[in-house]
Chains A and B, each alone.
Chain A
Amino acid sequence: MTRTDRREFLQQVAGSLAAVALAPELLPLPPPRRGAPLQIGVIGAGGRQGRAILTELLKFEAAKVAAVCDVRDERLKQAVRRASGAAAYADHRKMLDEQKDLVAVVVTTPTHRHREVAIDALKAGKHVYCEAPLAASLDDLKAIAAAAREAKTTFHVGHQLRSNPVYQLARSFLVSGNIRDVVQVRAQWHQKTSWRVPGDDPELNWRLARKNACGLPLEAGAHQVDVVTWYLSRFPTAVRGHGALLSWNDGRDAHDTVEASLAFPDGLRMHWDATLANSFDGQHELFVGTMGTIKMAETFGWLFKEADAPTQGWEVYASREKFHSEEGITLIADATQLAKQGKLKEGIGLPNPPLYYALQDFLKSVAEQKPATCGVADGYRAAAIALRIDEAIGKNEELAIGPEQLQGS
């Protein structure tokens, strides 16, 4: 394959990304006035994710954080410093009442507090970016989904890997049959951390109490379940799992080490595990196929080919990385442009954190009345399946995944 052929191939790959866009959601609101930045409010702005969102939103000329809200005074002050010029609120309803010019709202409160805030924002006529996982109970998921479907505004769920250009590229490889038949999926989320937030108020450590159902299956697993179902366009039918508290015996009751096996139709299984005790090999998803394996790790992706897989001309130019006895072809999102400039190796990784691309997609869908990259049905399904994993671990038995989890799929 010549260099030109390779460019054409990559252009085709890029083109296929458009073809895999999700089903459109109706967005009847007119787009905001051209030229004026979108006025945005961020609710839960002082938490860890809130800080990250404010940092990324600052990069967009088309957006302006006009208001921030946090129930904790110290965090609210920090958020105001970060988003200079933004109005400060401790009560999200007051913010929605007073800030009439807000076009969109980002909800980044604790997961089990999404329902009230997201629904209030939708009822106030705002476009909503709601952090993922979408909610921490089926009741909450159903309520949010109903409100989002009723609303005439965009509802974007923050499963940011869907907007990640490297993940989009790798999906196009998988969908086009590059690794042929997927026979196994493995995903892990490993970090060495207590997962604790400083502070005396137990509510700050909402992830560590089982009653909130915001443990590893939901907070880590939902994102990876979403990637896998998005990649495979298939959904699991049953799950069994196991969990234990092995490392952090500090008064919490949520497990610090969990694993689950999800059964898909026709025998395929996804193995997922997560731990807070060890960081080895971090977070990644592995798609094992009969002609190769795709490994995805946040802003990086690799294709490992089987020896009998056909060689394609563009591989001559590809950047490779060695992992013990394996050699992976590095997946580079903007490879075509970089190859033209002879800077392919400089394209490893992404120019921005994954969150940036998710916010970019949201702003674009609001401004251009385009469908959300990750809509409420996607968010519902990922969270519902993750909650089912949590339930299976708690009951220590295999549970079916049915219409209640896959609603809208």
Chain B
Amino acid sequence: MPLLVALSAMGTRFELVLAGEPEAPPLRALAEEALEIVAELDRRLSRFRRDGIPAALARAAAAAQNGDGTLRVAREEMVLLELCRRAHARSGGAFDPAHLSALDEKTATFASVRIDRRGRRVGVPSCLAPLDFGAVAKGYALDLAARALARGGVRVGLLHGGTSSVVALGAPPGRAAWRVAVRDPADDGERPRALATVALRDAALSVSAPHGSTREVGGRRAGHVVDPRDGAPVERVRVAAVVARHGATSEVASTALLVRAERAIRANAGADDPPALRRRLLACADLLPPSAAALVAFEAGGALHPVLLGPHAAVFSDVAAPRAFAVPCPETSP
């Protein structure tokens, strides 16, 4: 009987399922410590709080108008900002925590953020767009929670934030890995079919998808995910699932992959030729970190087409065949 603890944070529900004696005080203490880490990162990374890093950087940006646009940050924040900087560069801007910049030409991208690792100082220009760490905050929180659990001796557990960010410790007793299903976006029933199944062992899974909420930015209604470089909404790529060693890296990769794949499909001059589109998507594998794997599903010709990327794509199994797909896109009209 595993121990299950939960927390409402980052606008979703985090659950930790840990193997062991559930009533054993040490295991519960470790689980609670892991939840505290998630709660603390929720406070520090939230864009909705005045005492979070996004608000502090916005104040630093305002101060930059008078010459001083720097902020001292804690170690955890420095590591995350550095990871975002690298992901932004590696993805050619497809991943950008300052992604609202595309919708307001007066604002700057994450490339404008200067990071002084030794001085633990971050410098921002006055025109920096508001930061939104989004799903990467969830992945990072799960990483730090998993690290604390592992340090405390927990060898087997499954941690997730809102089911779209998952970190696996070890594997269930008698099994080679945790098996996690990726939901089929074409099925919005109560018990949806799986698009694929993922085998996770000391690894993380991130699932990014454009369906969900829309929001208004700069007087325009935008889908849940847009290309940070030009504001184009992601519409035809319906899922990007990435398995990597860590939650934060899988999150940045799945977000960037969703955006890059959409651009690759759009660059096909409107031709709905699934084999050609598939080849274009395979070229996006360079976004993946080493030893990562990905599953991308795109819509073409009224059907959903799954594509596997990366040398370790065998972690995905039971991948569905192309199937009819008629779920409408999020509203993206002006």
Contact = CB atoms under 8 A, between A and B. Distances in A.
Interface of A: 48, 55, 58-59, 61, 81-82, 84, 193-194, 196-200, 250-251, 299, 346-353
A346 B28 CA distance: 38
Main secondary structure of the interface of A (DSSP, over half): loop
Given A194-B25, A194-B28, A346 B50 contact: yes
Nearest to B30: A198
Main secondary structure of the interface of B (DSSP, over half): helix
Interface of B: 23, 25-26, 28-30, 32-33, 36, 43, 49-51, 55-56, 59, 72-75, 120, 152
A350 B32 CA distance: 26
A198 B75 CA distance: 22
Contact of A193 (B26, B32, B50, B56): B32
Contact of B75 (A48, A82, A196, A251): A82
B29 A198 contact: yes
A81 B29 CA distance: 23
A61 B70 CA distance: 11
A55 B72 CA distance: 10
Given A194-B29, A353-B43, 8 more contacts: A58-B73, A59-B72, A84-B75, A194-B25, A196-B25, A197-B29, A198-B33, A351-B59
Contacts of A250: 23, 25
Contacts, number: 53
Given A194-B32, A196-B32, A198-B30, A58 B120 contact: yes
A55 B74 contact: yes
B25 A352 contact: no
Contacts of B25: 194, 196, 250-251
A268 to B, nearest CB: 34
Nearest to A197: B29
Interchain residue pairs A-B with the least CB separation, the first 6: A196-B29, A198-B29, A349-B50, A55-B74, A250-B25, A198-B30
A250 B26 CA distance: 10
A200 B30 CA distance: 12
Contact of A351 (B26, B29, B56): B56
A349 B49 contact: yes
Nearest to A85: B118
Nearest to A83: B75
Contacts of A61: 72
Contacts of B74: 55, 58, 82
A198 B55 contact: no
B120 A351 contact: no
B50 A348 contact: yes
Nearest to B34: A198
Contacts of B33: 197-198
Contact of B55 (A59, A84, A193, A351): A351
A200 B75 contact: no
